[in-house]
Amino acid sequence: MHLSWPGGPLRGTAQLPASKSEANRALILQALAGGGTLGNLSDANDTQLMLRLLAAAPSTELSAEDAGTVMRFLTAYLAVTNWRGRLTGTARMQERPIKVLVDALRQAGASIHYLNNDGYPPLEIGGFTAAAETAEPTELSVRGDISSQYISALLMVGPHLPGGLRLTLTGHIGSRPYINMTVALMQRFGADYSADGDVLTVRPGAYRPTDYVIESDWSAASYWYAFVALAPAGSEITLAGLRRESLQGDQAIAEMMTQFGVETTFLAEAVHLRQVPLTPQTAIPVLDFTDCPDLAQTVAVVAAALTRPVDMTGLESLRIKETDRIAALQTELAKFGGDLRDLGAGRFRAESNGFAVDNQSVATYHDHRMAMAFAPLAMRGPIAIEAPTVVRKSYPQFWNELAKRGFSVSEAG
């Protein structure tokens, strides 16, 4: 996909997809509740895939494709609903670990076997053997620094376990906003939940059918923040469907982007972004992405392009996403004169020396966020994005929205 900006300020309103993080949790809860209506479900592949697989669950072979959330959530859902069959995914999905979740579900009574490599999909799920009816909850303990998707998957099926679930999180807890999102949605669907420090308790009982409208996606909004940051002076954009009181941890982008000259004003069910003059950088800020790892690529690209270095921590999970996102960022930023330098002790510095955009081609590594994080560089010069259809995973209308806002968008033959 060849992208360029004709010049002048960026203005208008951009449409965002609905949050797939909210949607996939709500779809599991709706299925467990046996009803309710969900509004504003997007056409993002991850959301549509979850819809299809939940409807196809009578089948004995399902594929989560490349969707980590779908794989983790479905593993728990299918296990406790006594499904029997094979759950698989793409080659990359079969390299992404799932052992922590499987071990916990086995302890709770699930029969799950690995078909290829121990600790990785594909899985053979052989039903669920519940313990005798008891008032005592199932006791599980998992590390808090693992993917929050494992923790969310266990919490959501908690009411369906005999006696409920008492889940103890040990050590440092990462991506806590995603756990908070899960719990908030569970409570909307009628779950009885409480927490005592890092001990999370879900009492047994049925969910109730609930109507819920999914918020627009703050992760998708992050790319528009990047466009405004890199655009000519006077640029502004309105993003519909976002809430000040959001369940999404990626709302952190609003505060982060003040470092790069983007001011956020909250409206009724929308936000307005406006470029403001950059203040001199007197020190290198440190931004922690532990709770919002999906924002890291966007921020790294903007920091390098603006030659405003930023130190980044909490990037550990980026190694096991759709690709090794740290390695991918380092390779692609180098094409423009940028770098994501490893400072050791879990800290990276996004920086550049002579950053320039001039028809470089960006590889996307089967990763939707690589495509969308680098697209805003079109504000600084023409670029090409390889394999542009990867955006279907979370923001299928991304390229169309750019064209509507005035970008030159042309797909190579």
Per-residue pLDDT reduced to its tens digit, 80-97: 999 999 999 999 899 999
The letter for the amino acid at 98 is I
User: Is 25 marked as a binding-site residue?
Assistant: yes
What is the pLDDT, as a whole number, of residue 321? 75
Cα separation of 75 and 72, whole Å?
5
Residues 291-308, mean pLDDT to the nearest whole number: 95
User: Is 369 marked as a binding-site residue?
Assistant: yes
Tens of pLDDT, residue by residue over 228-265, are 999 999 999 999 999 999 999 999 999 999 999 999 99
Residue 41 vs residues 120, 123, 217, 227, 401: alpha-carbon distances, Å: 30, 28, 11, 25, 18
Q: Which residues contact 24 (CB under 8 A, 6 or more apart)?
A: 46, 47, 50, 69, 70, 73
* 2-17+216-410: in CATH 3.40.50.740: no
Residue 201 CA neighbour count, 13 Å, CB half: 8
Tens of pLDDT, residue by residue over 360-404, are 999 999 999 999 999 999 999 999 999 999 999 899 999 999 999
Cα separation of 22 and 161, whole Å?
23
Q: Tokens 């300020």 sit at which residue?
A: 9
User: Which is more confidently placed, 148 or 189?
Assistant: 189
Beta strands in 65-175 (DSSP E): 84-88, 110-114, 123-128, 138-143, 165-170
Q: Which one is catalytic: 217, 294, 311, 339? A: 294
DSSP strand pairing (310-313 vs 286-288): parallel
| 294 is an active site residue | yes
What is the pLDDT, as a whole number, of residue 116? 96
Tens of pLDDT, residue by residue over 103-158, are 999 999 999 999 999 999 999 999 898 765 667 899 999 998 888 899 999 999 99
User: Is 175 marked as a binding-site residue?
Assistant: yes
Q: Is residue 316 very low, low, confident or very high in pLDDT (cuts 50, 70, 90)?
A: confident
Domain ranges of the chain: 2-17+216-410, 20-213
| Of 185, 183, 179, nearest in space to 214 by CA | 185
User: Is 393 marked as a binding-site residue?
Assistant: yes
User: Is 68 marked as a binding-site residue?
Assistant: yes
User: Is 66 marked as a binding-site residue?
Assistant: no
The letter for the amino acid at 227 is F
Is 0.75 surpassed by the pTM of this model?
A: yes
Q: Is residue 176 very low, low, confident or very high in pLDDT (cuts 50, 70, 90)?
A: confident
Same fold, 2-17+216-410 and 20-213: yes
Residue 284: both structure tokens together: 């290198």
Residues 316-341, mean pLDDT to the nearest whole number: 90
What is the pLDDT, as a whole number, of residue 133? 64
Please, are residues 295 and 256 in contact by the beta-carbon 8 Å criterion?
yes
Please, are residues 357 and 336 in contact by the beta-carbon 8 Å criterion?
yes
User: Is 367 marked as a binding-site residue?
Assistant: no
Tens of pLDDT, residue by residue over 1-53, are 999 999 999 999 999 999 999 999 999 999 999 999 999 998 889 999 999 99
What is the pLDDT, as a whole number, of residue 413? 57
- Looking at CATH, the fold of the domain delimited by 20-213 is given as UDP-n-acetylglucosamine1-carboxyvinyl-transferase; Chain (3.65.10)
User: Is 36 marked as a binding-site residue?
Assistant: no
Residue 279 vs residues 225, 302, 307, 308: alpha-carbon distances, Å: 17, 16, 13, 11
What is the pLDDT, as a whole number, of residue 361? 98
Please, are residues 178 and 21 in contact by the beta-carbon 8 Å criterion?
yes
Q: Is residue 322 very low, low, confident or very high in pLDDT (cuts 50, 70, 90)?
A: confident
User: Is 149 marked as a binding-site residue?
Assistant: yes
Q: Is residue 207 very low, low, confident or very high in pLDDT (cuts 50, 70, 90)?
A: very high
Does 196 have pLDDT greater than 60? yes
